[in-house]
Amino acid sequence: MLLNMEWFRTFKTIYETGSLTGAAQQLYVSQPGVSLHLNSLEAYVGYKLFDRTARKMVPTERAKVLYNYILEAVNKLEEAEQHFHKSAASNKSTISIGMCLETFQFTLEQYISSLPFNLNIKFGEYPEMQQDLDHGLLDLIVSPQKGNQPSITYRPFAKERIVLVAGGKQDTAAFSKLIRKGQYNEAEKWLKDQTWYTTAADMENMRKFWLCNFGKHPDFKPNYIVPNKCSIVRCMSDSKGFAIIPDFLCRQELNNGKLKQVWEGNKVMENTLYFGKRKKTMYSKEIEMIENIFLEQAPGLAADVEEELVDA
């Protein structure tokens, strides 16, 4: 099942209005549509979000945690949407960009209000973004994947490594000592006894990292499965716990000591991040401004990425 970001908006509205009817009225959709979104989100996260009474939808404890995690992100998206709807009155151009939620939150979100043009952000699967870019529905995508559409160019701009990170207050000395001695079986056992964070959609990174470095699949269940990588970073900052996530999405926290990089593994797992855009576009200046924001967030380009940029 793929995550639909509208489920979060619907969930937030139900939480705040306390009823399906109130949410339907506020969102200008049918009540069955609201129920469908809620049921789909509950099926996705794997637990009930509301106790349904005759007069009110009462949020569960897990719903309260989820609401706090997504509130800021959903509010930011609604703010971006409002800017988009004002485009006709202000005569500003509107740029449509596709990327993953975490990339948006860690890089572009803080700059939205200062941009001299309107912005429409779309989240989804990368092949779908590539098709939308090719069809003119998007003007720019940020992706770890390159497509083969002849009308689209891809420019590498950064590397992300899938690394083992820990909260800033986590004691990792015992693990580091075992790794230095090459005692990987003992290191794996030590890690399995720790507190772990992941997302439902990100278990694949953990499986690959574990298989590459320990020669087996992880046979333990993470303690906390949260909505997205942004939640992982917030939960672990200045705290304890472990996660396997892209370093690109937590470089600021790693630099200021709120998180610590524990191990990149014996076999480095690395992705190249690309800007994808159509060869012919009327928004070259606006796209360049967005690209520069990302480049400022990822100043340490790997040598092979720089070579790709020169070749391009």
- pLDDT tens track of the chain, all 312 residues? 567 788 998 999 999 999 998 888 887 777 888 888 999 899 989 999 999 887 899 999 999 999 999 998 888 887 776 665 554 445 678 899 999 888 888 889 889 989 999 898 988 888 889 988 988 888 999 998 898 888 899 999 988 899 999 999 999 999 999 999 999 999 999 999 999 999 877 778 889 999 999 999 999 989 998 888 888 999 999 999 999 998 888 888 999 999 999 999 998 898 899 999 999 888 999 999 999 999 887 655 444 454 544 444
Type and span of the H or E element at 203:
helix 203-214
Place of tokens 């100043």: 299
Q: What is the pLDDT of residue 62?
A: 93
Q: What is the pLDDT of residue 82?
A: 64
Q: What is the pLDDT of residue 304?
A: 47
Residues whose CB is less than 8 angstroms from the CB of residue 90 and which lie 6 or more positions away in sequence, other chains included? 118
Q: What angle do CA 20, 23, 29 make, to 5 degrees?
A: 100
Q: How does DSSP classify residue 106?
A: I
| Phi/psi-derived region of residue 46, left when phi > 0, alpha when psi is between -120 and 50, beta in every other case | left
Q: What is the pLDDT of residue 198?
A: 92
Burial class (CB in 10 A: 0-12, 13-18, 19+), 163: buried
- Angstrom distances, CA of residue 111 to CA of 92, 119, 206: 17, 11, 31
Distance CA 254, CA 273 (A): 19
Q: What is the pLDDT of residue 58?
A: 94
- Angstrom distances, CA of residue 72 to CA of 155, 186, 230, 231: 31, 40, 11, 11
- Angstrom distances, CA of residue 4 to CA of 17, 44, 124: 21, 10, 8
